[in-house]
Structure 1
Amino acid sequence: MACSLLRCPNPFLRNLSTLSLQSRQYHDYIRFATPGGIARVALNSPKIVGIANSRGSRGHQEDYYAFASLSLDPGELSQSVKKTMGVDWNPRDACDLLARQVVFMGIYDGHGGSTVSQYLRQELHGLLESVHKSDIPELYLWIKDIGGYFKRFKGGVLAPWIHKSEDTPELDLEARITQAFFEVDRHLSIETEARSCGATASIVLLHSLDHPATPFFSSDKLALTVAHCGDTRVLLCSTTGGAVFPMTENHRADTRIESIRLRRMMGSALITDSFGESRWMGALANTRAIGDLQYKRFGVTPEPEVRSKLLRGQDWAYIVLVSDGISSVVSDDEVVDLARDAPNPKVAAQRILSFAEDMGSEDNATVVVVPLAGWGKIEGPDKTRALRDYRRRQAVGSERQRRM
């Protein structure tokens, strides 16, 4: 998935991608230290990252995913873990190649078409690697020109760089991610389809703090950063009882964080549709999204919510990323329980997808399972097994009645 766009059939996406390929250093494999030197392993192995996705009953696919190994400035990474986790990490204790390595996982759920979600799959990881603080003043002027909601925008975490980029601090991860998300919208602003087409997005960044550096799936000390827009979800599973720790919250107009943000900046434009669901401007379920350019001036922002967490060794079994084709019919607890005891991440992802389909999901659905050092070491019973068995029986009975 971390591949060139030179073969992409969409000329808009292909032309954009050729602008910055030379400055990118990402790979589809990870490096790690061994007694004999530096080894590498492909990220597309089903034992390293588990992927399952389906179109459901739709005739088209708008869900996409990506994974890559990025090369980021070690000083920036050191500054970020100190700021967000209080951890002193000295990149000079590792070789430069490994100190720079950050594993990227992304899941994108398109709506109104696939232009934006395809662009994210193909470009976001490269943009995140290559953005520079010197571009922020120009980016900020473009954001302000959107008008409406963004007339009052002060730059958020980008504020230190919006008027000048010289004699300013280096970017930290939160600022880098935020700049990359806004840059996607700026690049897409020349594409007509992106006015009415958009995507939600969740990305995971994993950075080993071990000395010598170890792969994310065996790291004793691992920095996790999650950035999120919309209703794709990132779930962290503990080895203690298989407890779920959500790293994201859905960005809907009636949730606390979003309702406060929108009321402060825009007043109220929340409308309940005929199904009883809240819609911003009467049209959008999500109030943060990439694309949907016609709604930006009304408060729909690509500004991600960024969270960080220091993961200690075998305390955590895996991370699961899901689109709403999964989360709309499967609870967070069910998602992590379905993945436990699977022989590898690929099987775990397939189990989650299969259960969602059994529960009647007809939407595009995507699951990404990322193993951590505690893989296969969850203690305690499967909390939701009895409930899942009951739901399956109910679903089978309902299907039989429907066919009669």
Structure 2
Amino acid sequence: MSSTVLLNLLRCGRSTITRQTFLTVRSSPETLTASGQVGEALCGVVAVRQASGGVHRYDSGSVRPVTWDSFGIWDDRIEEPILLPSSIKYGKPIPKVSLSRVGSASVLGLRKQNEDRLRVSRINDNLLYFAVFDGHGGPHAADYCYTFMEKFIRDALEEEDDLEKVLKKAFLNADKALFQHLSYFNNPSFLTAGTTATVALLRDGIELVVGSAGDSRAMLCRKGKASMLTKDHTPDRKDERRRIQSFGGFVTWNSLGQANVNGRLAMTRSIGDFHLKTSGVIPDPDTRRINIQHANDSFLALTTDGINFLLSDQEICDAITQCHDPTEAADVITQQALQYGSEDNATIVIVPFGAWGKQQSSTAVYSMSRNFASSGRWA
């Protein structure tokens, strides 16, 4: 799709158009012969969604069947418009990601309280925000990040356009502000609270930037395969363990073979955990930038370790692919984690992309010979 065609679409005075109409124009040779005729052709087109998944075009009495192009199908009952400004900017059609289509679920497990938090919101017209926070030592840190991380991102956006720098600044500022907040209560136990933070920002429907501290994860399903966008920050990693030891901290292993910082914390980065800051536990996130390929990418999934401890990345990818919509998929994944013996809180956010429903995986046969032990952080 040339920039000339997209500009002529914009001249019709519409900020978004349906994918069916877009594909009708793309697929009609007569509308592409002269750039000056494209706008007139679009404004005279009526596209009707057919049950078979195709589109019929009606203009001047002609009828031409049009099948789905490279988007996937967004499920047979899901209609999503094209983001025209973003499509013009990047020179290719980009579907809108609606927050109403995002699926999420969070279950208690066998814990006394759910310390996980999730957040889905719109920062501005072209920037979406998704996050999971897995609290420990009480819900205080996760609650704070749930409430204020978005504010710190907005503040950073006033000074930075680079989303990776925005996330790094937001994480550090959230950690500093949390210390001040918890100090007001004059309760030393509050300062032992902490949380993981895995945050994804989607700009213009295509630029995805993920920041993560701790062992919650972000995973992209591309062509039916799980592609990890984050790495767990645990004492098992040599680079993380070396930092802990250089700060004077130490690493021990519990009876389940789980490594812990100072015998207490099963991660080496987090927001909060102020009693372990002098032992090398830091809030600095690792960040990753990637452009979404809507023709190949089915969804983004953010998960806490109540899921990751028992389901592999590919198992999560396969199970979601078999589901009708992201809401159903979120429920399936959390319930599957419980059935496999997770005692921890289990939380997931699923963001559908253009290839949702396009990849049909074979029915997965999950192994029941997995670890049924708790995924708790505290030894």
TM class by smaller structure: 0.5 to 0.7
In 1, the alpha carbon distance for the partners of 2:323 and 2:157 equals 41
Change beyond 3 A, Cα 1:277–1:235: same
Gapped regions of structure 1 (runs ≥ 5): 1-31, 72-97, 135-169, 209-215, 217-221, 396-404
* Aligned 8 A contact 2:322 2:360 in 1: no
Indicate which of 201, 211, 228 corresponds to 1:205.
Answer: 201
Indicate which of 275, 289, 295 corresponds to 1:308.
Answer: 289
Alignment partner, residue 16 of structure 2: 33
Indicate which of 211, 214, 231 corresponds to 1:227.
Answer: 211
In 1, the alpha carbon distance for the partners of 2:165 and 2:278 equals 22
Change beyond 3 A, Cα 1:315–1:44: closer
Structure number with higher helix proportion: 1
In 1, the alpha carbon distance for the partners of 2:198 and 2:165 equals 16
Cα deviation, residue 379, structure 1: 4.6
- Paired positions, count: 279
Change beyond 3 A, Cα 1:297–1:171: farther
Whichever residue aligns with residue 236 of structure 2, its letter is: D
Matches within 5 A, 1:1-400: 33-34=16-17, 45=100, 48-71=101-124, 98=125, 101-131=126-156, 170=160, 172-190=162-180, 191-192=182-183, 194-208=190-204, 216=205, 222-239=206-223, 242-263=224-245, 265-266=246-247, 269-382=250-363, 385-386=364-365, 388=366, 390-391=367-368
Change beyond 3 A, Cα 1:267–1:298: closer
TM-score (norm 2): 0.68
- Once the two structures are overlaid, the 10-residue window that deviates more, 270-279 or 246-255, is 270-279
* Aligned 8 A contact 2:121 2:128 in 1: yes
SS at match of 1:284: coil
Change beyond 3 A, Cα 1:280–1:346: same
Aligned-pair RMSD on alpha carbons? 2.7
SS at match of 1:116: helix
Change beyond 3 A, Cα 1:171–1:316: closer
Q: Deviations over 1:86-109 (max 9, x none)?
A: xxxxxxxxxxxx4xx211100000
* Aligned 8 A contact 1:288 1:303 in 2: yes
In 2, the alpha carbon distance for the partners of 1:364 and 1:103 equals 25
In 2, the alpha carbon distance for the partners of 1:377 and 1:257 equals 39
Change beyond 3 A, Cα 1:133–1:357: same
In 2, the alpha carbon distance for the partners of 1:287 and 1:280 equals 7
Cα deviation, residue 266, structure 1: 2.4
Gapped regions of structure 2 (runs ≥ 5): 1-14, 19-42, 44-80, 85-95, 184-188, 371-379
Cα deviation, residue 228, structure 1: 0.3
* Aligned 8 A contact 2:132 2:197 in 1: yes
In 2, the alpha carbon distance for the partners of 1:171 and 1:179 equals 12
* Aligned 8 A contact 1:43 1:68 in 2: no
Cα deviation, residue 259, structure 1: 2.8
SS at match of 1:313: coil
Q: Deviations over 1:58-84 (max 9, x none)?
A: 12110000011113xxxxxxxxxxxxx
In 1, the alpha carbon distance for the partners of 2:198 and 2:209 equals 11
Cα deviation, residue 254, structure 1: 1.9
Cα deviation, residue 54, structure 1: 0.6
Alignment partner, residue 55 of structure 2: none
Cα deviation, residue 33, structure 1: 2.7
- Once the two structures are overlaid, the 10-residue window that deviates more, 177-186 or 274-283, is 274-283
SS at match of 2:307: helix
Whichever residue aligns with residue 341 of structure 1, its letter is: Q
Alignment partner, residue 93 of structure 1: none
Whichever residue aligns with residue 272 of structure 2, its letter is: G
* Aligned 8 A contact 2:215 2:305 in 1: yes
In 1, the alpha carbon distance for the partners of 2:358 and 2:341 equals 31
* Aligned 8 A contact 2:132 2:216 in 1: yes
* Aligned 8 A contact 1:43 1:67 in 2: no
In 1, the alpha carbon distance for the partners of 2:131 and 2:294 equals 23
Q: Deviations over 1:233-260 (max 9, x none)?
A: 1111112xx1110111110012144134
Change beyond 3 A, Cα 1:224–1:44: closer
SS at match of 1:70: strand
In 1, the alpha carbon distance for the partners of 2:361 and 2:328 equals 21
Cα deviation, residue 261, structure 1: 3.7
